[in-house]
Amino acid sequence: MLNLNFNPFPELKTKRLLLRQVMPTDAKLVMRIRGNEEAMRYIPRPRAKTMEDALAVVKMLTDGINDGKSINWAIANINEPAEIFGIMGYVNFYLEQNKAEIGYMLHPDYWGKGYVPEAILEVERFGFEQINLQAIEAKIDPRNDNSRKILRRNNYQFDRLVKKEMTFQGEDLDSEYYIKNRIQ
């Protein structure tokens, strides 16, 4: 059974990064991240264009945590906890399979520094050891080479390609699924 009680919120740390809860006071930076066209290119969600949009994102993330439906961390440099530049977490839990879907994004100014590969290890550890996941799934747009690179390097195995899985803004989208199982 999964442990989906995230109260108190589990802050995580890596060598360079602090992973902490997203707060309403982060809304401006959430807008910078979730409003960035380049960062949102392969994420089929509406871009945050206003402070109201950003606050709605913060509320959705907060509700997910409180309801045990999802858990997302804001990513910041360990020495600058207020300056969040990314979001990562489990966006869905599949209770019958003890599985979760992982998601991550950074503002493009912070790409190419190995931040997501660093953070994902800690988020995975939390998922396997604290939530009790058996498997972590990642779903990517097949055009998202940067995301695929991270998954492959981090030992996720290709699972399946689903053609035309959804329609977003008038475009039919395929999805590639990757999976990482807990090592027994």
Is residue 114 a contact point for ligand COA (CB under 6 A)? yes
Stretch that binds ligand COA, among 18-26, 64-72, 113-121, 157-165 (CB under 6 A): 113-121
User: Which x/- pattern, by CB under 6 A, does the window 45-84 give for ligand COA?
Assistant: ----------------------------------------
Determine, following the binding rule CB under 6 A, whether residue 123 of this chain makes contact with ligand COA.
Answer: no
Please state the closest distance from residue 184 (CB atom) to ligand COA, in A: 27
What is the nearest approach in angstroms of ligand COA to the Cβ of residue 39? 4
CB of 52 to ligand COA, least distance (A): 23
Among 115, 126, 156, 178, binds ligand COA (CB under 6 A): 115
Secondary structure string (H, E, C) spanning the chain: CCCCCCCCCCCEECCCEEEECCCHHHHHHHHHHHCCCCCCCCCCCCCCCCHHHHHHHHHHHHHHHHCCCCEEEEEEECCCCCCCCEEEEEEEEEHHHCEEEEEEEECHHHCCCCHHHHHHHHHHHHHHHHHCCCEEEEEECCCCHHHHHHHHHCCCEEEEEEEEEEEECCEEEEEEEEEEECCC
Residue selected from 134, 144, 175, 181 as contacting ligand COA according to rule CB under 6 A: 144
Could you say whether residue 104 binds ligand COA (CB under 6 A)? yes
Between CA 92 and CA 152, with CA 30 as vertex, the angle to 5 degrees is: 50
- Minimum Å gap between C-beta 114 and ligand COA is 4
CA pair distance 60, 38, nearest whole angstrom = 22
Binding site for ligand COA (CB under 6 A): 39, 42-43, 104-106, 108, 111-117, 140, 144, 146-147, 149-150
